[in-house]
Homo-oligomer: A and B are copies of this chain.
């Protein structure tokens, strides 16, 4: 498979590169016969415009960046599937970076993507990201940014999120309807938008059913397995709950593990509910029910907004916030 350029075609057909270029893009200035001649030859030699030359010409890379905490996590890998499907179908490349829940890495990712001249990025913030100064810095220079899942409070950005409030509310209410009264809630750091919304959903459900919120049953922790374990232990030392509702993919699994290890100290009826997209949760025992986010759709929607913005002439002024429904996967 040899790489053919416009110049090669021009030389072969004894035309100028400009004529060939125009013929291929069906310009009105070119004779019909010439067009056919060129088109046939181009097809024969399998000509493809060099995307790098085009990028240089119009100062667009036709590539977008994605920054996620980690891809070895079903929620994010499903979201990436969505992003890639949308992007590839529209002729864009996708460059994936992982922040590994570190602000430093997130900054490096941003710099890297910016220097590589991606046209825009999709980002789900790291667990350590408190503000978005480092992103604002870039978003000025017509570098489009769309947030998904873990979004900042700030106005002035496109965002695609799950209905974290309702998801947490539904899960909590489900547990209550199962007769649970002491529902522990272990969740991610309060810096994350998702944390607050889910906590609200949890509290609202308790409130609706006349159960008092017990702050001792609520723990925040990071993504270190030890922290999760400690949180479960603390809660169990305080009082054995009859249900756990834990959030955030990775964290929920760490908690589940600690819970599984101490399951024998709990009543057989104790239930465990997560907020994850783990695609094998139904194979777990003791059972693990989860709130599932429409990860794939979140990916396509976020990518669509970004690409629409990149391809629109005028600057976007009103920012969309799309909220997608979650559903419960009861095991």
Contacts and interface: CB of A to CB of B under 8 A. Distances in A.
Given A78-B72, A284-B283, A116 B141 contact: no
A285 interface: yes
A280 B71 CA distance: 15
A30 B298 CA distance: 53
A115 B48 contact: yes
A264 interface: no
Given A84-B96, A95-B94, A283-B253, A2 B77 contact: no
A319 interface: no
A137 B97 CA distance: 31
Interface in A60-119: 61, 71-72, 74, 77-78, 80-81, 84, 88, 93-98, 112, 114-117
Interface string A247-271: 0000001001100100000000000
A170 interface: no
A232 to B, nearest CB: 14
A80 to B, nearest CB: 6
Interface string A22-56: 00000000000000000000000000101111011
A51 B84 contact: no
Given A115-B48, A285-B285, A96 B94 contact: yes
Contact of A1 (B53, B61, B138, B285): B138
Nearest to A115: B48
A96 B98 contact: no
* Residue picked from A52, A74, A117, most chain B C-beta under 10 Å: A52
Contacts of A283: 253, 256-257, 260, 284
Given A1-B143, A52-B55, A84-B97, 10 more contacts: A1-B141, A52-B56, A53-B56, A71-B81, A72-B77, A94-B96, A253-B280, A280-B280, A283-B284, A285-B286
Interface of A: 1-3, 48, 50-53, 55-56, 61, 71-72, 74, 77-78, 80-81, 84, 88, 93-98, 112, 114-117, 137-138, 140-141, 143, 253, 256-257, 260, 278-280, 282-286
Please provide the 9 A-B residue pairs with the shortest distance between their CB atoms, ordered closest to farther.
A285-B285, A72-B77, A52-B55, A48-B115, A71-B77, A52-B56, A1-B141, A1-B138, A56-B56
15 contacts: A1-B143, A50-B117, A51-B115, A52-B61, A53-B56, A71-B71, A71-B81, A72-B279, A84-B98, A88-B112, A94-B95, A96-B96, A256-B283, A278-B280, A280-B284
